[in-house]
A and B are shown apart, each in its own frame.
Chain A
Amino acid sequence: MGMSIQVLLDVLDRAHTGPVCSVKDWDTKVIPGKVSEKLSEHGLKGTCTPENPINTDDGLADEFWHAGFELAVDVGMLCLDTERVIKFTEEELKEAIRNAPSELILGEGLEKVLMKARKPEDKTLPLYCAPIGIEASENLWIPLIQGIAQHRVIDMIQGCSLRTVLGRQLRSGTPYETLAGRVQAQMHREALWRAGRPGMCATSVITSPTVYGQLGGYGVPGGYRTSDLALVLSPAELKTSYVSLHKVVHAINCGGPIFGGSSSVIGGYAGPVEGSTIAMVACALLQIAVHQSGWGSCSVIDMRYNGNCGRDAQWAISVAFQGITRNTRLLTQSVLNQVAGPCTDMLLYESAVGMMNLSASGLSFSIGPRSAGGKYADYISPLECKFCAEVFKSSAGMKRVETNELAKGLIPKYEDKLRNPPKGKSFTECFDLKTLRPTKEWLDIYLKVKKELVDLGVPLE
């Protein structure tokens, strides 16, 4: 995947010379106004169908794609530091999409994996990366990541965020963060070596809330390798900042591939669920144009429960990504945001619905899970990571009509608990740290839900 210094300079120049717009105007006028305009122009207001949470209408997905593409061209991306808009012409955006890869080899040695662009209902296997950056204690970090990496169904590792670095409280933006980048890379290597999978690709550096963790840990001797993905996460959909752009420059300096991403918020700046869906499409495309991300990447959060396994959010994910994957050959990525914790059946039901949807809607890969909403340190275990990967891959080739019916049966099992989900149990409470195996309680829940899914027709082994 080649990255271009010329594209980088164009983006940096536009961040300095583009049209002026205050953050306040962007949030309260530009985004809601333009999104509303696109919804009206394309007849998309009120098209969300919560009773059918996974879209099966190709025409609707295509209309959202067109609206999202137009939104990306019309508004561009705001640079928070300069309060200027980085804009692209229609042709420039099309060129960025054309130049983005349709397949990518990631990892090293025996752990090399091929990521391919997929279409809805595609039989090509997607890739799964676990876990998402939930905070973990320093002393549990290596066994936790080892426990996840030991499952061969998982293709890549992101890791957890560190709470401390060498015993010191890790404050973002301080030299502790710079140190944490390097320390985490070392721990990452150790965990993969213990799991017997040293060549697995990493998405890095997750403990880099500002640019310092990335500078300290990516591409430096003993740090993350340049065959690993350099994470460039935006603070919000359709916004970037110098923190993100510094990370882009650093990845280009090191010659590493870039993984951009962000989330739209249902009820937020883009408004209703249909507005967030358009914003997701635009965000995914602009990640490629602005951050030179290797794929179209965006997720969604429903602010009513801070997750995305409810009906509206699942619908938004299905429509946005069906639109993108039907109309391009882009690699695509999205994140599932569960709210229930480990050792609960709710976490597995949420995961089953979401992973089936992502697979059937044509995603190339996904990172997760966000067990317990990512709220609690150490509330993540290897078993739900394995479960997500299993469902994601086994759903490849499933029809959306079938997936929608399954989702309609499973969502009622948890939707009334989305605002007050069970916290579940921490890694140490539901896993044996010596054997890295789940407790009987957690394993029984896993087997029960898995059997239930098999009985419903999910082709799990």
Chain B
Amino acid sequence: MKTFIALLSTLLAVATASAGQISGNIQRTRINGIDVIAYKTGVKDVVYLRGSLPAGDNKAPAANPMIPTLVGGMLSRGTQSHAKSEITAMLDAVGASISFSVNSAMVEFNAKCLAKDVPLVLSLLAEQLREPAFTGEEFGRLKQQTLGGLKRALESTDFRATDEFSRAIYGPGHPNRNATIDERIAALDAATLDDLKSFHAAHYGPAHLTVVAAGDINVPALQAALTRSFDGWSGGTPRLAAIQNSATDTTKEQTVFMPDKTSVNIVIGQATGMRYTDADAIALRTGTAILGSGFTGRLMANVRDKEGLTYGIGAGVANDTFADGEWKITATFAPALLDKGIASAKRQLTDWYENGVTAKELEHRKDNLVGAFKVGLATTDGLAQNLLATVHRGKELTWLEEYPEAVRSLSLEQVNGVIKKHLNPDEMFMIKAGTVTEAAPK
């Protein structure tokens, strides 16, 4: 404890990156098959470890969409060498943490600790990834807690709107299409420990594992710890190739009626067929930011600031990291102002789509995006997140230096051209979730 406190007492300010000096500070190596990205910053004693491997929901067996999520949930519930409580005690004693999450393509981990504890955390992380205990008792608990989470999700207007939207714009089999809550509850009920073990054996391994370490790291010591902890591990499957989206036959406007709600969430949008790596991606994001990012975006400036119809409205491109993604407007409105709010949002959408953005708006937004990029890299965790996101997006790490120029070089014609090329308001879907009077069950 004394050593721990002494170490803390030497804390100095964080040191991070400016956009122009990133790649020169990165040490990227392959250890036991793992892609290791190390970035030493000037921060004292603090280390962030982030990483992922492709064992996400898109690899779920056809019969059960919940298996990848459940396997991810079991990673922190004990290993073949240590019980859950023992691992927690070891981490708690040094104030460290490791957590896991599962998205459409990846299982991700997020760990943080003091520099001296990196070997301990990596050894526990390796244990959790390599040899989860898969005990029946913990599996039962995980199932019950997951069921609770699914049921509580039914209470959220935000969740219900975006969840339904995913099934409106993505066809069956697309990785961004969510299974319904009922389907997930049924899959949860049907899942067995053997299903989880099989999935883990098939998809977990070092071959496509990425580890990002940022902060006060001793790179040789980090590499030695990774060599030791992951020695002898094999396996792992590559990311799945992107699946082409198929159109759905869903009606263009849908309402998820939820009684007793004082605010309605809406989503208006469409699938784009584009990924982040596509040539038009940055232009579409920039044009979209002019419509719907921040307080000066047209939606906030008009629908909120001028007309007072909503607390929050925005537009963005999303879910395009691992597959072709979507474009959408999201907003909340009081039930009494819903029609007015939707009409106002659609006016802005139509004007933006028909008439495009102006040269002045584009110049201001470029300044905004480049400035925000600089601010986003000004923390050690922000740096670690962006390094991992760059890998996920299939970009070289030099992208973090190239991004400002990619934004600066956009022309007005390019931005207005991609809006017309990839979007069509007439084809967009609209989902409302909340107490929408006309949708109330009779």
Q: Do A and B truly interact?
A: no
Residues of B within 8 A of A (CB): none
